[in-house]
Structure 1
């Protein structure tokens, strides 16, 4: 699974792929929901023109750290058009990435706010906002080719999976790429780590949802520790 680091190749390929992603209408339930939300809006955002389309990945095309989330939030990325932008989950995530040196600023409110990532790229296994934040298995399966192509264009060394769905989606991606997954299948957990021959290292982290961050299940210190471990793993793999 060696990745090319030729400057520009990944960026150009990602741009073409993203143009394709945002036109996808393969999942009727998701298309109906994302567009309904975009029409009805939330009162606080009534003056916004919602994105209302699939949301591609975002970040540094030469990133060795890929952060895998779940899906766009209905009034977050489905509104702004950029992953984790414009909601509380993104506030927590980008603040953590800023502390870890992967982001140039700690907040992200819209696509033109100046946010830039260095060494990190964020993707979601489901590109459209799903009802109740729960994509169906068949919807994740339809999106899987997009995930495969995004990952193939990145020189990924470490995948930080935010939650169990992201962990399982990463294992499925590795299987499709020809990596042998142990039996029993490795389970998700916060701080879980999986290194397989010929594959990026997987790290598990609780999702940065409000349900986790406002209850203390995931604290800034916990997130910082996972990010520090990701940095060490990347540096170790650069030296091999």
Structure 2
């Protein structure tokens, strides 16, 4: 990340933040790192601010802040965001990418969804290939990346230990995803992995969408349309962009490109 570096044990704000890390009631207000598109939507800006200040889940708060203090050796001189991570991208996106949760040394470090790790490299390179991103890399919150027609988010906004949020943590975070869905109002959701698929279906059902029972099963290439009155939302399943999938070839660049292009076709319709 650009900007001043800190070597203290206290996670400090990245560029764009105001005040020190929030530590509970009465702590200074923080704002998320630069998402220029959120500025065009007061509702999104308000949501982002609420996300950043959340401390609902003690286990997640403790873990994200511990990671921010101890740091990985490769990032020992960097300041970790170490807070919940808002969504990122086009405020009027017709395509929403739904992942799992921030990575401990990726988004938990940089403060921007899918930024600063190999998973993000794989995802944003694909977005760039199909014309949804202005550049193929995402290394820091102030690297100039802009998304057009697409937004990235997650059902859980804090980095969880072992990358495994509990059911209670997912439920505690669900209102943020619900608000984001209502504000952005996408036409297509590209869902990365079974966790995000189940979480999104639960949230849609809570919002009054007609989700089939039993719930549609996740699979790469799965395609499900749900309705709420005259509105429709198409869910597209895609294997997660984790290194476990991309390094083994379970998810290839062509496979991800195909899902994103399908999303573009559906969004245009």
* CA positional deviation for 1:235: 1.2
For the pair 1:37 / 2:67, whether they are aligned, the reply is yes
| Partner-residue secondary structure (3-state), 1:201 | strand
Number of aligned residue pairs: 230
Structure 2: unaligned runs, 5 residues or longer: 1-36
CA RMSD of aligned residues (A): 1.4
How many Å separate the matches in 1 of 2:262 and 2:39? 28
Which has the bigger relative contact order, CA under 8 A and spacing at least 6? 1
For the pair 1:208 / 2:241, whether they are aligned, the reply is yes
Report the counterpart of residue 124 of structure 1 in structure 2.
Answer: 154
How many Å separate the matches in 1 of 2:214 and 2:55? 36
How many Å separate the matches in 2 of 1:18 and 1:121? 13
- Which runs of at least 4 in structure 1 moved beyond 4 Å after TM superposition? 7-10
The answer (yes or no) to whether the contact 1:10–1:61 under 8 Å persists in 2 is yes
* CA positional deviation for 1:197: 2.7
How many Å separate the matches in 2 of 1:58 and 1:216? 27
Alpha-carbon distance change, 9 to 34 in structure 1, aligned in 2, over 3 angstroms: closer
For the pair 1:79 / 2:112, whether they are aligned, the reply is no
The answer (yes or no) to whether the contact 2:39–2:45 under 8 Å persists in 1 is no
* CA positional deviation for 1:155: 2.7
What is the TM-score of this pair, normalised by structure 1? Answer: 0.93
Give deviations 1:48-104, integer Å, cap 9, x for gaps.
010000000000001000000100000000000000000000000000000111100
Give deviations 1:210-235, integer Å, cap 9, x for gaps.
00000000000100111111111111
Structure 1: unaligned runs, 5 residues or longer: 1-6
Report the counterpart of residue 185 of structure 1 in structure 2.
Answer: 215
Alpha-carbon distance change, 74 to 145 in structure 1, aligned in 2, over 3 angstroms: same
For the pair 1:233 / 2:262, whether they are aligned, the reply is no
